[in-house]
Structure 1
Amino acid sequence: MDSAMARVEVDGKCSIFPARPSLPQQCKLTYSDLQLLYVHYTQKCLFFSTPTSCTIQDFESMVERLKKSLSETLVYFYPLAGRLKTCDGEVYIDCNDSGAEFIEASAPDLCLAQVMGDSIPHQLFPFNGVFSINGHFLPLLVVQVTKLIDGIVLAFIINHSLADGSSNWHFINSWAQLCREPLSIPLFPLHTRCFTTTSPVKINLQHNNISKQRFDNFTPPPLSEKRFHFNEQIISLLKKEANEALKEKSIYISSFQALCAHIWQGITRARGLSPNEETRFCFSMNCRSKMVPPLPYSYFGNALQGVGASITTKELLSGSRASIALMLHRTIASHQDAQIRAELDKPPRFPDLKDFLSTNSIVVGSSHRFPIYNNDFGWGSPISVSSGWANKFDGKLTVYPGRDKSGSIDIEVCLLPQTMNALEFDTHFICPFND
Structure 2
Amino acid sequence: MPCEPTMTTLTQIISKTTVYPTTKSTLPNLKLSTSDLPMLSCHYIQKGNLFLQPPIPFSDLVHRLKQSLSITLTHFPPLAGRLVTDSNGYIYITCNDFGAQFVHANATHVSVNDIVSSLHVPDVIKTFFAFDRMVSYDGQFNPILAVQVTELNDGVFIGFSVNHAVVDGTSLWNFINTFAEICNKGLNLKQKQPSFERDSIMISPAVLKIPDGGLKVTFDEHAPLCERVFSFSRESILKLKNTTNNRKKLSCYGNGEINVNAVEIMGKQKNDIPINDSVTELIGNWIRNAVVTKPQPVSEISSFQSVCALLWRAVTRARKFENSKTTTFRMAVNCRHRLEPKLDPYYFGNAIQSIPTYATAGDVLSHDLKWCAEQLNKNVLSHDDTMVRRFVNNWEMDPKCFPLGNPDGAMLTMGSSPRFPMFDNDFGWGKPVAVRSGRANKFDGKISAFPGKDGGGSVDLEVVLSPETMAELELDSEFMQYVSGLTC
TM range (shorter): over 0.9
2:330 match: 282
Alpha-carbon displacement from aligned partner over 1:101-139 (angstroms, at most 9, x marks no partner): 000000121111223432241111111111000000000
Q: What is the one-letter code of the residue matched to 1:329?
A: N
Change (3 A) 1:276 1:156: same
Tell me, in whole angstroms, the C-alpha distance in 2 between the residues paired with 1:329 and 1:11. Answer: 48
Given candidates 188, 193, 205, the residue that maps to 1:188 is 193
Shift of 1:2: 5.1
Structure 1 distance, partners of 2:41, 2:383, is 25
Give the distance between the partners of 1:67 and 1:2, measured in 2 at CA: 35
Residue 174 (structure 1) aligned to one of 171, 178, 181: 178
Of residues 454, 457, 467, the one that matches 1:417 is 467
Q: State the match for 1:350 in structure 2.
A: 401
Distance in 2 (alpha carbons) for counterparts of 1:270 and 1:195: 43
Q: Which residue of 2 aligns with 1:208?
A: 213
Matched, 1:157 2:161: yes
Aligned to 1:110: 110
For each residue in 1:399-426, what CA deviation from the matched residue of structure 2 results, as whole angstroms up to 9, or x when unmatched? 0000101211000100010000011011
Alpha carbons 1:8, 1:105 under 8 Å: kept: yes
* SS of structure 2 residue aligned to 1:5: coil
Q: Secondary structure at the match of 1:394?
A: coil
- Aligned equivalents of 2:211, 2:152: Cα separation in 1: 43
Q: How much has 1:359 moved relative to structure 2?
A: 4.0
Equivalent position of 2:46 in the other structure: 43
Given the alignment of the two structures, is residue 377 of structure 1 paired with residue 427 of structure 2, yes or no?
Answer: yes
The Cα of 1:197 is off from its aligned counterpart by 4.3
Alignment of 1:132-143 (within 5 A): 132-143=136-147
SS at match of 1:250: coil
Paired residues of 1:423 and 1:429 also in contact (CA < 8 A): yes
RMSD of aligned C-alpha atoms? 2.0
8 Å contact kept, 1:125–1:388: yes
Shift of 1:150: 0.1
Partner of 1:271: 319
**TM-aligned CA deviation for residue 221 of structure 1:** 3.8
Q: C-alpha separation between the residues in 2 aligned to 1:103 and 1:330?
A: 44
Shift of 1:231: 1.0
| Alpha-carbon distance between aligned partners in 2 of 1:381 and 1:223, rounded to the nearest angstrom | 30
CA distance in 2, matches of 1:243, 1:375: 34
Q: Provide the residue aligned with 2:243 in structure 1.
A: 241
Q: 1:271 deviation in Å?
A: 0.7
- 2: CA distance, partners of 1:249 / 1:199: 38
The correspondence for 1:129, drawn from 121, 133, 137, is: 133
Amino acid at match of 1:129: R
Contact 2:35 2:350 in 1 (8 A): yes
CA distance in 1, matches of 2:180, 2:222: 30
Deviation digits for residues 154-203 of structure 1, max 9, x if unmatched? 00000000010000000000000100111224200001124434642322
Q: Is 1:95–2:95 an aligned residue pair?
A: yes
Q: Aligned letter for 2:207?
A: K
Give structure 1 stretches of 5+ with no counterpart.
212-217
Matches of residues 396-407 of structure 1 in structure 2 within 5 Å?
Answer: 396-407=446-457
Residues matched between the structures, number: 422
- Contact (CA 8 Å) 1:144, 1:156: kept in 2 or not? yes
CA distance in 1, matches of 2:203, 2:235: 47
2:112, 2:21 → 1: CA distance?
A: 32
CA distance in 2 between counterparts of 1:222 and 1:137 reads 30
Larger displacement relative to structure 2 (337-346 or 199-208)? 199-208
2:310 is the counterpart of 1:262 = yes
Q: Given the superposition, is the C-alpha separation of residues 3 and 141 from structure 1 closer, same or farther in structure 2, using an over 3 Å criterion? A: farther
1:352-371 mapped onto 2 (5 Å cutoff): 352-353=403-404, 355-371=405-421
**Structure 2 vs 1, CA of residues 210 and 358 (structure 1 numbering), >3 Å: closer, same or farther?**
closer
Distance in 2 between residues matched to 1:295 and 1:198, nearest whole Å: 12
CA displacement 1:48-99 (0-9 Å, x = unmatched): 0016xx56xx111111111111000000100000000001110000110000
Query: With structure 2 as the length reference, what TM-score do the two structures score?
Result: 0.83
Change (3 A) 1:307 1:243: same
Residue in 2 that maps onto 1:325:
373
Confirm or deny: 8 A CA contact 1:193 1:301 kept in the other structure.
no
> What is the CA–CA distance in structure 2 between the aligned matches of 1:248 and 1:72, rounded to whole Å?
54
- Report the TM-score, using the length of structure 1 for normalisation: 0.93
Superposition deviation, residue 350 in structure 1? 1.0
Give yes or no for contact 2:237–2:482 (8 Å, CA) kept in 1.
no
Equivalent AA in structure 1 for residue 406 of structure 2 = F
Larger radius of gyration: 2
Conserved in 2, the CA contact under 8 Å of 1:40 and 1:129?
Answer: yes
Q: Mean Cα displacement is larger for which, 111-120 or 170-179?
A: 111-120
Structure 2 unaligned regions, length at least 5: 252-294, 484-488
- Name the residue aligned to 2:73: 74
In structure 2, C-alpha distance between the alignment counterparts of 1:356 and 1:194, rounded to whole Å: 34
Identity %: 38
Assess if the C-alpha contact under 8 Å between 2:183 and 2:427 holds in 1: yes
Q: Does the aligned pair in 2 maintain the 1:278–1:311 contact within 8 Å?
A: yes
Cα distance in 2 for partners of 1:185, 1:71 equals 17
The aligned residue for residue 214 of structure 1 is none
1:188–1:387: structure 2 CA closer, same or farther, 3 Å change rule?
Answer: same
Q: Which whole-Å CA distance do the structure 2 matches of 1:427 and 1:197 have between them? A: 44
User: After the TM superposition, which residues 22-61 of structure 1 pair with which residues of structure 2 at under 5 Å, given as runs?
Assistant: 22-23=25-26, 25-50=28-53, 54=55, 58-61=57-60
Q: Which residue of 2 aligns with 1:215?
A: none
Q: Which one-letter code corresponds to 1:77 in the other structure?
A: F
Pair 1:276–1:219, CA change in 2 (3 A) = closer
Using the alignment, how far apart are the partners of 1:185 and 1:407 within structure 2? Answer: 24
Picking from 291, 314, 322, the partner of 2:339 is 291
